């Protein structure tokens, strides 16, 4: 990959405030820790606390890569994070950003709005999403949360339940197809099915209440695990209440020495979640906690219920390792918004089958995917000058069918290895218009085809793995984006097509045993063409419409470090330099940006750091997030100020209560210095309503019981 001198010059320019406060604070914390917790006062940490702190690369199979790649061999950027029992017990984790902040390249914006969910991006892919997740393929316990049209809704997930997270930090459509600008693979399965029962309770700011119970047991060759949780919050802002009950369950059945069956299920019921909207700068100065009047007046929000189940059979045969999965999803949604009252009933499902062999000098794998999505959509207008439901405006059945074939081949040499793959996708959208307003039938269909190759090379050294990689991805418009037509009629928009990206990267990851240091460094460049850009019109209000407009380039650097100088202390940090720009000028009535403009919603510099000290059974954790200002619109006329925020967590990993019960109490203080900042933005919002403010200082406390 050719990197220009100007590219490197931009890379080393860091705003002064990155060093003004944060480095002295972290240095002071390290010194204080060394004084207070000298070795003679430190008990040996429990073995399960050390599992994720080793400097060596893991040999576990990377599920997100769909083949035999591991962290120690994969010729692309991959991050694997395991959460220990203690971390799951003492971190409230009522939002996804609280468990994902340590992964380089992955940025989670907490909108403080459960009706929209967090905005998740990987290397800028997903920057434009108005709700849910776009441009990233997400899997939960072998069941795709990304449906065939590329839309991802993660609100079935309770982040507190996540035990393992795998992130492919680059284009990966050769693995998963549509909307795979990155891959996020989440697992709530336990590390062991040994008998256990754990409960957890906490409460805190903004009338937050949570209860969770989980248990595991084994019956001969079958292991079982169940996890249930309830969360209720009033929210930091007005009109942002949320409550939800969630459940996950697993069965792992070892049928024989060569085969096993995994069954996973999940369920969520959220009867009433409010939507506060975003604010203008004037609104922020007047009252950061207010809701946007138009959203409050419309009683905007959503209620939803979703269930899903997946069955995966794995078997060793003479030809290789065979794996087959079938899954099904059902979801009902009621979503009143200022511009329409929306109801969607969704049924989705699919099957995957793959065969691979890695026992010879060459490894290979082949497979096929098939998935279907069926949305019954009804949009209602409001009666004039009221937010009472009026006439039906859209009544249609939307069906998406995705079929794909894929293959991969690689070498199994000692140090130097090559790997390559190819996937072919066909995605067909069909729309059955049941309304036929004015006697006109808006039924129709769209079909998209895509070939997605990747190729990589790696070289194993004493201190780690060096690699280079080329990958591709594509992203079709979702049914929501196709149906939101600027002319406000039904049917699918015939004028938008998929956006496509290709990227190159080079990196090095490994560990330095003598320094107890682990590192991961990657540099990348992505080109995205036929970018799907959102815009709004006066007639459409807060509804987002889409069109293909221009191309973008994403240049970046990711550095992740994990240093453990003593068994009782660990310091982690990851820095992201993100220089993402439009490469073409576009000027229309709705969309205006100039070549060289920065992509909105992404800061150029971002630093996350975490200091953990573990004196005996105590656990003290300080987390810091720093980022500089960034633009909030395509034209680069408005910005969101940069900020630095610190969080503190105190916990105890074992207070004995009787002979069979262990308590783990904890306290979490978010934003300990009470900074006023916006944790997310609404990109290209109408009337300057860009800002989604974060809470000030907030205290949460609770305990877990292990029985």
Q: What is the pLDDT of residues 457-500, one digit of tens each?
A: 999 999 999 999 999 999 998 887 887 776 666 667 788 889 99
**Confidence band of 642 (pLDDT split at 50, 70, 90):** very high
Q: DSSP letters of 540-607?
A: TTT--EEEE---EEEEEEEEEEEEEEETTEEEEEEEEEEEEEE-S-EE-SS-EE-TTPBPTT--SEEE
Q: Which of 231, 263, 262, 207 is nearest to 157 (CA)?
A: 231
Q: What is the pLDDT of residues 409-451, one digit of tens each?
A: 999 898 999 999 999 999 999 989 888 776 778 788 889 999 9
Q: How does strand 208-219 pair with strand 222-233?
A: antiparallel
Q: Which residue has the tokens 């149906």?
A: 483
- pLDDT at 35 (0 to 100): 35
- pLDDT at 525 (0 to 100): 97
- pLDDT at 198 (0 to 100): 95
28-190+202-566+576-604 topology per CATH: Maltoporin; Chain A (2.40.170)
pLDDT at 55 exceeding the cut of 60: no
Q: What is the pLDDT of residues 139-172, one digit of tens each?
A: 999 999 999 999 999 999 999 999 999 999 999 9
H or E element at residue 17? helix 17-20
pLDDT at 544 exceeding the cut of 90: no
Tokens of 383: 């009666």
Give first-to-last CA distance, the chain, whole Å: 55
Q: What is the pLDDT of residues 325-347, one digit of tens each?
A: 999 999 999 999 998 999 999 99
**Confidence band of 196 (pLDDT split at 50, 70, 90):** very high
- Residue 250's DSSP bridge partners are 225, 264
Average confidence score pLDDT of the chain = 88
For the residues 659-667, what does the mean pLDDT come to? 92
pLDDT at 537 exceeding the cut of 70: no
Q: Name 660's Cβ contacts closer than 8 Å, sequence gap at least 6.
A: 707
- pLDDT at 137 (0 to 100): 96
Q: Which pTM value belongs to this model? A: 0.89
Q: Where are the domains of the chain?
A: 28-190+202-566+576-604
- pLDDT at 555 (0 to 100): 97
Q: How does strand 362-382 pair with strand 389-411?
A: antiparallel
Flag the least confident range among 26-35, 139-148, 312-321, 419-428.
26-35
H or E element at residue 297? helix 293-297
Q: How does strand 464-475 pair with strand 259-274?
A: unpaired
**Confidence band of 60 (pLDDT split at 50, 70, 90):** low
Q: Which of 608, 604, 610, 639 is nearest to 626 (CA)?
A: 608
- C-alpha to C-alpha distances, 279 to 273, 601, 631, 681, 689, nearest whole angstrom: 19, 15, 15, 9, 4
- pLDDT at 444 (0 to 100): 83
Q: Which residue has the tokens 């960034």?
A: 630
Number of alpha carbons in the 13 Å side-chain half-sphere of residue 204 = 24
Q: Show the 3-state SS of 381-397.
A: EECCCCCCEEEEEEEEE
Residue with the bigger pLDDT between 68 and 581: it is 581
Q: Name 558's Cβ contacts closer than 8 Å, sequence gap at least 6.
A: 77, 104, 105, 169, 520, 521, 522, 523, 524, 574, 575, 576, 577
Q: Which of 445, 435, 368 is nearest to 400 (CA)?
A: 445
pLDDT at 511 exceeding the cut of 50: yes
Four-residue CA torsion sign, 14, 15, 18, 21: positive
């Amino acid at each position: 990959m050719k990197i220009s001198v100007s590219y490197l010059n931009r890379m080393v320019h860091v705003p002064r405030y990155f060093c003004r406060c944060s480095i002295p604070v972290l240095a002071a914390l390290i010194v204080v820790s060394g004084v207070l917790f000298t070795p003679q006062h430190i008990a040996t940490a429990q073995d399960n606390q050390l599992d994720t702190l080793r400097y060596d690369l893991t040999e576990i199979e990377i599920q997100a890569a769909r083949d035999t790649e591991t962290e120690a061999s994969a010729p692309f950027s991959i991050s694997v994070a395991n959460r220990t029992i203690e971390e799951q017990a003492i971190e409230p984790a009522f939002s996804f950003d609280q468990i994902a902040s340590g992964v380089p390249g992955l940025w989670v914006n907490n909108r403080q709005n459960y009706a929209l969910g967090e905005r998740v991006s990987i290397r800028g892919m997903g920057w434009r999403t108005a709700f849910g997740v776009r441009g990233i393929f997400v899997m939960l316990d072998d069941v795709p949360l990304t449906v065939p049209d590329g839309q991802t809704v993660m609100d079935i997930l309770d982040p507190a339940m996540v035990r393992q997270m795998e992130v492919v930090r680059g284009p990966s459509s050769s693995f998963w197809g549509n909307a795979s600008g990155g891959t996020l693979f989440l697992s709530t399965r336990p590390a062991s099915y040994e008998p256990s029962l754990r409960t957890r309770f906490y409460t805190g700011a903004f009338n937050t209440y949570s209860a969770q119970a989980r248990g595991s047991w084994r019956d001969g060759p079958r292991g079982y695990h169940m996890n249930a949780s309830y969360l209720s919050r009033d929210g930091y802002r007005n009109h942002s209440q949320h409550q939800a009950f969630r459940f996950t369950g697993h069965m792992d059945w070892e049928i024989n020495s060569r085969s096993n069956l995994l069954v996973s299920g999940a369920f969520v019921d959220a009867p009433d979640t409010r939507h506060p909207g975003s604010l203008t700068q004037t609104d922020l100065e007047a009252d950061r906690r207010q809701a946007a009047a138009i959203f409050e007046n419309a009683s905007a929000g959503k209620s939803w219920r979703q269930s899903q189940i997946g069955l995966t059979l794995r078997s060793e045969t003479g030809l290789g390792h065979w794996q087959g999965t079938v899954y099904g999803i059902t979801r009902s949604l009621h979503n009143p918004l200022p511009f329409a009252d929306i109801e969607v009933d969704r049924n989705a499902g699919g099957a995957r089958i793959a065969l691979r062999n890695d026992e010879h000098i060459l490894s290979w794998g082949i497979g096929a995917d098939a998935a279907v999505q069926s949305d019954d959509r009804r949009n209602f207008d409001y009666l004039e000058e009221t937010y009472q439901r009026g006439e039906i405006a859209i009544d249609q059945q939307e069906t998406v069918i995705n079929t794909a074939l894929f293959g991969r081949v690689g070498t199994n040499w000692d140090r130097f290895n090559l790997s390559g793959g190819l996937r072919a996708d066909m995605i067909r959208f069909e729309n059955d218009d049941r309304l036929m307003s004015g006697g006109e039938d808006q039924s129709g269909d769209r079909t998209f085809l895509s070939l997605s190759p990747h190729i990589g090379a790696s070289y194993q050294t004493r201190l780690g793995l060096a690699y280079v990689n080329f990958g591709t991805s594509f992203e079709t418009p979702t049914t929501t984006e196709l149906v939101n037509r600027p002319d406000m009629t039904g049917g699918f928009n015939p004028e938008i097509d998929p956006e496509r990206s290709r990227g190159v990267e080079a990196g090095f990851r490994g560990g330095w045993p003598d320094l107890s240091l682990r590192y991961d460094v990657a540099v990348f460049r992505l080109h995205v063409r036929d970018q799907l850009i959102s815009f709004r019109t006066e007639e459409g209000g807060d509804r987002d419409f889409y069109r293909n407009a221009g191309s973008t380039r994403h240049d970046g650097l990711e550095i992740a470090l994990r240093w453990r100088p003593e068994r009782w202390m660990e310091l982690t940090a990851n820095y992201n330099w993100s220089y993402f720009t439009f490469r073409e000028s576009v000027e229309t009535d709705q969309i205006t940006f100039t070549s060289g403009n920065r992509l909105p919603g992404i800061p150029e510099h971002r630093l996350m750091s975490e200091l953990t000290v573990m004196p005996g059974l105590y656990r003290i954790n300080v987390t810091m997030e720093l980022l500089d200002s960034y633009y909030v619109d395509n034209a680069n006329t408005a910005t969101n100020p940069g900020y630095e925020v610190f969080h503190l967590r105190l916990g105890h990993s074992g207070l004995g209560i009787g002979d069979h019960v262990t308590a783990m109490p904890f306290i979490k203080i978010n934003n300990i210095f009470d900074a006023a900042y916006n944790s997310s933005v609404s990109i290209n919002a109408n009337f300057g309503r860009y800002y989604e403010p974060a809470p000030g200082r907030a205290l949460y406390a609770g305990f877990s019981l292990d029985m």
